[in-house]
């Protein structure tokens, strides 16, 4: 849409959860003269960030792959702004070209770590990250919880077994069978680029020619967001590769870590151990990998390190104090489990085929012991049910005169209890309503939030009269 013709981009933000949401939205724009207004016409705080070349290149490839032609122009910036949305409701925001109020809207300041020979700190709020002089992540600190931890983040790849020699089982679509591990060296990498602003800080790092990473610390958030763009994984050496990132701390975790089961309960895992039988360890890495749909965490009696993901990945804790996630795989041999082809996905443009490039995010937080469950459960619901965006254009006039700009399906002053999630709200053919609620916490998972909860149905249905209720309980054992 061409905003230069006096039009505004209308962004409707819908919240499907039964809680009020406060989040930061990022919308791609062409111009650096952008202002954002809420539904009342007030200009709200915003921040412009340049779009990374890796992200722009990936977008252009997707456009050409699906439409057959390259885009005439590509967005150059993200505009980031805070959004507040009522439970089961929506809010409306307007993006337009105009003169930005210096006290409200800003462009991110940019500097390169290469110009500084000292440690670097990022983060405008309670959460701070420390980077050493070489540009490596070194420390996490939260001023509110007083948690501090030294840790590193690295990349490595496992060499996939090719199914030859004494081991006929190849690594493939269904089988993870590494024959070695190669750490990815960061020596000689491009120095990190740091973007600072009133809403968030970003650290951009080109890890190697096929790994790009953006680390975000939001002023009003208590977690770290890491976005990765990986690929094409090179296979010129005729070795399949399975890429992982790892977070390394000094926590004494006693071989124990926890992974989710289909996004619900967290299950205790002990490295090289099975409670049902005595295990013979032949695959010390693959034998300790588990599917991660929501998250993974470790604890040491004083603090918890939690990582949540935006998509299903593999994960483990191969060493004490460490968590690793499998981000991308490209393999050259069939594992013989029914697919009848190697896991070597490609995208072809103009008769030139390259390996798949993937983009994703994971989120990290360190809490005092016993407090991590609250973030894993609440933020996990926000990841599972993200804010839904709808777009329109406005060409003059007052949007509110012909449209509803904000709405809540519940009493706007009410939210469901923190430990209760709304699963289903559906009107049936006979006029009755199916309402499904879930208690998010296991027994003993949290000192307060594992307790029973009550829901005020009169405030869930503020404009309806509840005449009868049938209650059905589903227990998971």
Q: All domains of the chain, ordered by start, with CATH?
A: 1-107+386-410 (2.60.40.1180), 108-384 (2.70.98.30), 416-477 (no CATH)
Mean pLDDT, residues 375-392 taken together:
96
Mean pLDDT, residues 353-363 taken together:
96
Mean pLDDT, residues 146-150 taken together:
95
The tokens for 104 are 């409200």
pLDDT band at 49 (very low <50, low <70, confident <90, very high): very high
Over residues 151-204, the pLDDT tens digits come to 999 999 999 999 988 889 999 999 999 999 999 987 667 789 999 999 999 999
Q: State the pTM of this model.
A: 0.94
The tokens for 253 are 């975790």
pLDDT at 456: 94
Taking 80 as the threshold, does the pLDDT of residue 474 lie above it? no
Taking 60 as the threshold, does the pLDDT of residue 22 lie above it? yes
pLDDT band at 476 (very low <50, low <70, confident <90, very high): low
Taking 60 as the threshold, does the pLDDT of residue 477 lie above it? no
Per the listing, tokens 């390169």 go with 112
pLDDT at 188: 61
Over residues 262-302, the pLDDT tens digits come to 888 999 999 999 989 999 999 999 999 999 999 999 999 99
Mean pLDDT, residues 338-357 taken together:
92
Over residues 80-121, the pLDDT tens digits come to 999 999 999 999 999 999 877 666 656 666 666 554 557 889
Over residues 403-455, the pLDDT tens digits come to 889 999 999 899 999 999 999 999 999 989 999 999 999 999 999 999 999 99
């Amino acid at each position: 849409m061409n905003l230069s013709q006096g039009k505004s981009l209308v962004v409707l933000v819908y919240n499907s959860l039964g809680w009020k949401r406060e989040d930061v939205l990022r919308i791609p724009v062409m111009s650096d003269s952008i202002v954002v207004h809420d539904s009342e016409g007030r200009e709200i705080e915003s921040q412009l960030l340049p779009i990374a070349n890796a992200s722009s290149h990936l977008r252009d490839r997707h456009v050409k792959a699906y439409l057959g032609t390259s885009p005439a122009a590509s967005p150059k910036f993200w505009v980031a702004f805070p959004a507040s949305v009522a439970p089961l409701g929506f809010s409306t925001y307007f993006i337009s070209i105009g003169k930005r109020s210096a006290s409200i809207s800003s462009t991110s300041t940019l500097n390169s770590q290469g110009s500084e020979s000292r440690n670097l700190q990022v983060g405008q709020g309670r959460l701070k990250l420390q980077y050493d002089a070489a540009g490596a992540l070194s420390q996490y600190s939260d001023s509110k919880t007083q948690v501090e931890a030294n840790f590193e983040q690295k990349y490595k790849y496992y060499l996939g077994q090719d199914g030859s020699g004494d081991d006929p089982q190849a690594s493939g679509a269904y089988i993870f069978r590494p024959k070695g591990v190669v750490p990815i060296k960061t020596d000689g990498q491009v120095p990190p680029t740091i973007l600072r602003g009133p809403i968030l800080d970003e650290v951009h790092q080109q890890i190697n020619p096929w790994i790009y990473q953006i680390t975000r610390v939001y002023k009003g958030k208590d977690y770290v967001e890491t976005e990765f763009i990986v690929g094409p994984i090179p296979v010129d050496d005729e070795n399949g590769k399975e890429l992982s990132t790892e977070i390394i701390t000094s926590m004494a975790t006693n071989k124990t870590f926890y992974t989710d089961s289909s996004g619900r309960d967290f299950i205790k895992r002990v490295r090289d151990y099975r409670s049902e039988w005595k295990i013979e360890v032949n695959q010390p890495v693959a034998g300790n990998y588990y599917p991660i749909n929501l998250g993974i965490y470790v604890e040491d009696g004083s603090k918890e390190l939690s990582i949540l993901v935006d998509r299903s990945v593999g994960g483990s804790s191969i060493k004490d104090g460490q968590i690793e996630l499998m981000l991308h795989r490209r393999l050259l041999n069939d594992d013989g489990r029914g697919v009848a082809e190697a896991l070597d996905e490609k995208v072809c443009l103009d008769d030139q085929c390259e390996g798949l490039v993937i983009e994703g995010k994971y989120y990290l937080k360190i809490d005092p012991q016993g407090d991590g469950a609250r973030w894993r459960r609440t933020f996990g619901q926000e990841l599972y049910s993200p804010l839904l965006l709808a777009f329109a254009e406005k060409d003059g006039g007052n949007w509110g005169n012909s449209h509803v700009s904000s709405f809540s399906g519940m009493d706007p002053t009410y939210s469901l209890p923190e430990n209760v999630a709304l699963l289903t709200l559906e009107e049936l053919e006979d006029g009755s309503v199916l309402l499904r609620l879930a208690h998010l916490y296991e027994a003993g998972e949290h000192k307060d939030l594992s307790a029973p909860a009550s829901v005020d149905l009169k405030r869930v249905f503020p404009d309806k009269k509840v005449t009868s209720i049938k209650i059905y309980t589903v227990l998971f054992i």
